[in-house]
Amino acid sequence: MAKQGFVWSYSTIDAWRRCPRMFFETTISKRYKRDFVKTPAIERGEKIHGMINRHIELGDALPPALRRVTDIVRKLSTGARVIQTERKLAVTRDWRPTGFFDHDVWGRAVADATFVYETGAVYVDWKTGSWKQDGLQLRLTALVLFPHLSEAVERIRAFYWYTTDDEPSEVEIVTRDDFAKARTDGVPEILRIEDAIRKGDFPPKPGFQCRWCPVKSCPHNGKE
């Protein structure tokens, strides 16, 4: 079994893909801490997310620059039984719902906006600037969302949606069958990390990220 205590999220999986050694040192051994620098672009994104959340939850008007979001929310809200923002979702190892910080948490995701209908649901990840598109994030969030929904929900459509666009920039569709398969067979990216943890196999993967990597003991640090 993988070492207890490993809690996956898209960002931990992404750290492993960038460099297994950096992942180990910042997520498993925790000898180093990843620096989080709040850039002006991140601050702007947080402000826009806050405005969208208040628009969805309280009906606050959005500024003209976000008029497309007003239209998108109106459209997605039609027929929705449950609408939520910033939904913090967590599952146990057997994909049962649990609390975000509960002792049995195994996987986590945060959904910017969810719209739940009778037999389907939509999850939107709002995008406010240049961003690496990664369908894995959409798929993982939809998988973690599934056990939190009624069993009548058969399909989740997950969107990356730029707040300036009329259409989503990426769409992933995850069905209840996909969820059942993940539950029985596992998710390849998570299985690979758990295998690496079992074997203690975390090779360095030198690259651009070595410039800002916090793992000062690595011979590649600051050299790429």
In sequence order, what are the residues at sequence separation of 6 or more whose Cβ sits closer than 8 angstroms to the Cβ of residue 34? Answer: 15, 26, 214
Least Å from the CB of residue 38 to ligand SF4:
21
Within its chain, how far is the Cα of 163 from the centroid? 18
Judged by CB under 6 A, the number of residues near ligand SF4 is 13
Should residue 196 be labelled a site residue for ligand SF4 when binding is judged by CB under 6 A?
no
CB atoms within 10 A of CB 92: 15
Nearest-10 Cα torsion for 69, 70, 76, 78: 180
Q: Would you say 21 or 157 has its CB closer to ligand SF4?
A: 21
Per CB under 6 A, which region of 50-58, 76-84, 162-170, 199-207 contacts ligand SF4?
199-207
Give the one residue of 8, 10, 21, 76 binding ligand SF4; rule: CB under 6 A: 21
Least Å from the CB of residue 206 to ligand SF4:
4
Do the beta carbons of residue 182 and residue 145 sit within 8 Å?
no
Least Å from the CB of residue 39 to ligand SF4:
20
Per CB under 6 A, which region of 51-59, 118-126, 174-182, 210-218 contacts ligand SF4?
210-218
Do the beta carbons of residue 69 and residue 59 sit within 8 Å?
no
Per-residue CA distances from 133 to 125, 126, 127, 129, 137 (Å):
11, 12, 10, 11, 9
Should residue 45 be labelled a site residue for ligand SF4 when binding is judged by CB under 6 A?
no
Give the one residue of 15, 19, 144, 156 binding ligand SF4; rule: CB under 6 A: 19
Least Å from the CB of residue 215 to ligand SF4:
4
Q: Would you say 45 or 204 has its CB closer to ligand SF4?
A: 204
Q: Would you say 22 or 140 has its CB closer to ligand SF4?
A: 22
The per-residue b/e assignment along 38-69, b for 16 or more CB within 10 angstroms, e otherwise, is: eeeeeeebeebbebbbebbeeeeebeeebebb
Q: At what angle do helices 10-18 and 135-145 cross, to 10 degrees?
A: 150
Query: Which residues make up the interface to ligand SF4 (CB under 6 A)?
Result: 19, 21-22, 204-206, 209-210, 213, 215, 218, 220-221
